[in-house]
Amino acid sequence: MARRLPSLNGLKAFEAAARNESFTDAAAELLVSHAAISRHIKELEENLGTQLFVRTGRGVELTEAGQRFGSRLTPLFDQLADSAREAAAVGDVRPLRVSVQPSIASRWLVARLGSFNALHPDIELNIDPSNELIDFYVDPFDLGLRHGLGGWDDVEAVKLSDVVVFPVCSPAFLVKHPALKPADLVEMNLIHEDKKQWWADWLASAGVKSSGDWRGPIFQNQLALEAAEAGQGFALGDPILCTDSLLEGWLARPFNLDMKEHGGYWLVRRKGSRETGPMRAFREWLAGEFVETNKRFQQFKAKA
């Protein structure tokens, strides 16, 4: 007898939304739009003839039917994923070469790779930390993890996360400078990266006028954040690079003011290339990790 199953896209959208308790986080994890998640779930509700979510002013909440369905569906998806990994593991080891900016690699990616390796023992990751833009027609890489504005002509690019920017410093440094206001930073030691304009932009977004005649050390890559952790002043960070350190107490946020940046984090591959199984596995795992980090940052902000 043929099985009567709902749309797989609807099931995937609902499972991710139920597990994350958020349409927005589900969309980020599955790398689709919020509207797509909403549409798939609406179609699933119509197919099942029952309401799975209640839309509230703050987001969505699972109905009793949604809670029961989600509690059964997630283990089934986990078993399906395990079966797929076991099938893929039979045979040769599959290499995957990824170019990653050093700051993302050292401050975020490396600490999480153990979970990817455990999930995909058949995929041999080769991570190369580099700031150079990849030329996939010359360089021997399958993927690149980059921060930027996007819109590159020679690559297929998938946005993994938008970015907000905010000042950070060491907790001890903050104790020495209590009751700070954004305008006070003009007289403080500001730690710069290549573009000193970042600080001018953040201060302007906080309503502070500045001359732009900045003094302070210039560091490359993740060294600006490490200098801030060492108590040398204020650096600018984002949730991906700073959430772990904020939760561990190595960094502090002096203000609850975020500047929305125009760029984001992207996964790129050669234009027109086919996405292989290892590429897809890494992309899906990476998207989930970005969602989880952003969720932890929002939880940290709510408690601050």
* Structure confidence at residue 213 as a pLDDT band (50, 70, 90): low
**What Rg value do the Cα atoms of the chain yield, rounded?**
22
Separation CA 184–CA 151 (nearest Å):
37
Q: Residues near 136 by Cβ (< 8 Å), separated by ≥ 6?
A: 144, 154, 155, 269, 270, 271, 273
Q: How many residues does the chain have?
A: 304
Residue 2: per-residue pLDDT: 66
pLDDT of residue 164: 94
Q: Quick count: other Cβ atoms within 10 Å of Cβ 73?
A: 17
Q: What architecture (CATH level 2) is domain 95-304?
A: 3-Layer(aba) Sandwich (3.40)
pLDDT in tens, 178-209: 888 998 888 888 888 766 778 888 888 888 88
Q: What are the residue boundaries of the structural domains of the chain, listed by start?
A: 8-89, 95-304
264-301 pLDDT, tens per residue?
999 999 999 999 999 999 999 999 999 999 999 999 99
Rounded to a whole number, what is the largest CA-CA distance in the chain? 76
Give the per-residue pLDDT at 88: 67
Q: Output the pLDDT for position 60.
A: 87
Percentage above 70 pLDDT, the chain: 95
Per residue in 28-45, pLDDT (tens digit) is 888 888 888 899 989 988
Does domain 8-89 fall under CATH 3.30.70.260? My reply is no
pLDDT of residue 114 exceeding 80, the answer is: yes
Residue 235, token pair as written in the block: 């650096």
Beta bridge pairs of residue 83: none
pLDDT in tens, 120-144: 988 999 999 988 888 888 888 999 9
- pLDDT-based confidence at 58, cuts 50/70/90? confident
Kindly state the tokens that stand for 287: 């998207």
Over range 103-110, report the average pLDDT. Answer: 94
Place of tokens 């990824």: 98
Amino acid 211: pLDDT: 67
CA-CA distance, 285 to 19, in Å (whole number)? Answer: 15
pLDDT of 255 over the 90 cut:
yes
Q: How confident is the model at residue 241 (pLDDT cuts 50, 70, 90)?
A: very high
Mean predicted confidence (pLDDT) in 143-147: 93
Residue 214 pLDDT:
63
Tokens 């020495």, located at residue: 176
What is the residue-wise DSSP string for 98-128? EEE-HHHIIIIIGGGHHHHHHH-TTEEEEEE
DSSP string, 47-72: HHTS--EEEETTEEEE-HHHHHHHHH
pTM, 2 dp: 0.76
> Chain-wide mean pLDDT for the chain?
88
Instruction: Report whether 6 contacts 263 (CB < 8 A).
Output: no
Give yes or no for residue 168 having a pLDDT over 90. yes
Q: What is the pLDDT of residue 78?
A: 83
Cβ neighbours of residue 284 under 8 Å, at least 6 residues apart? none
Confidence of residue 106 (pLDDT cuts 50, 70, 90): very high
Give residue 216's pLDDT: 66
Identify the band that residue 210 occupies on the pLDDT scale cut at 50, 70 and 90: confident
How is residue 223 written in tokens? 């060294």
Whether 8-89 and 95-304 share one fold: the answer is no
What share of the chain in percent tops pLDDT 90? Answer: 41
